[in-house]
Amino acid sequence: MKIAIILGTSKSDGNTRKLVESFVEQSGAKLFDLSDFDISFYDYEHENSKDDFLPIIHELLRFDHLVFASPVYWYSMSAQLKVFFDRLSDLLTIEKELGRKLKGKSISVLSTGYNLDLPACFVQPFELTASYMQLEFKGCEYLAVQSESDLGKVTSSAAQAIENVI
Ligand SMILES: Cc1cc2nc3c(=O)[nH]c(=O)nc-3n(C[C@H](O)[C@H](O)[C@H](O)COP(=O)(O)O)c2cc1C
């Protein structure tokens, strides 16, 4: 199974990146860090159609499974990933044919946060989007990081995330 990870975080060497790197190491997945791309807010006029959003979607079509990786920022996905999600609307308007090609793929979520439990409201947008776009939702793996020692759980957490997907 070919797996791509789409990472949106404000800290390119932070906790979520560490979890993602372990996932990549153990699975051979390909990482797309949104901070390496120029993707702007959703535009009703589609004047941003020449930015990096459509090229990244074309690349993602080569994969069977997409992992969305984000820290919990105020109970939600990161702003970087939310901008990416907003732009999925382009695939329902100006690029419908491209959007249809995503159908049948599966997705999952990888996340880190401070609190021991992940709030339900964090996962819902991923589940509901998967359902709306006819993607299979394969779950969410969350690692709470309250101290440096919690980062010792990165390998087992990433392994669990891979097991949920394969
Ligand atoms: C702006 C901001 C908001 C945060 N909000 C939450 C939150 O709502 N719940 C939580 O558990 N942790 C929260 N945290 C803690 C981060 O989720 C946690 O430190 C995470 O591992 C950081 O990942 P990163 O290094 O990829 O940014 C927040 C951190 C920041 C910077």
Q: What is the CATH number of the domain that holds 34?
A: 3.40.50.360
| pLDDT confidence of residue 99 | 94
Look at ligand 1, atom 28, and give the residue with the nearest C-alpha.
Answer: 73
| pLDDT confidence of residue 6 | 98
Q: Rounded to an integer, what distance in angstroms lies between the CA atom of residue 38 and that of residue 93?
A: 20
How many angstroms does the Cα of residue 100 sit away from the middle of ligand 1? 34
| CA angle at 63 for the pair 61 and 66, rounded to the nearest 5° | 100
Q: In this predicted model, what pLDDT tens digit does every residue of 69-97 receive, in sequence order?
A: 999 999 999 999 999 999 999 999 999 99
What number of helices (H) and strands (E) belong to the chain? 6, 5
Atom in ligand 1 nearest the alpha carbon of residue 76: 8
How many angstroms does the Cα of residue 104 sit away from the middle of ligand 1? 32
Domain enclosing residue 39, as ranges: 3-165
Q: In this predicted model, what pLDDT tens digit does every residue of 8-67 receive, in sequence order?
A: 999 999 999 999 999 999 999 999 999 999 999 999 999 999 999 999 999 999 999 999
Q: Rounded to an integer, what distance in angstroms lies between the CA atom of residue 144 and that of residue 126?
A: 19
Question: Ligand 1: which residues within 6 Å by Cβ?
Answer: 9-11, 14-17, 71-75, 112-115, 145
32's tokens: 């797309």
Q: How many structural domains is the chain composed of?
A: 1
Look at ligand 1, atom 16, and give the residue with the nearest C-alpha.
Answer: 113
| pLDDT confidence of residue 71 | 98
How many angstroms does the Cα of residue 147 sit away from the middle of ligand 1? 13
| pLDDT confidence of residue 143 | 98
| pLDDT confidence of residue 34 | 98
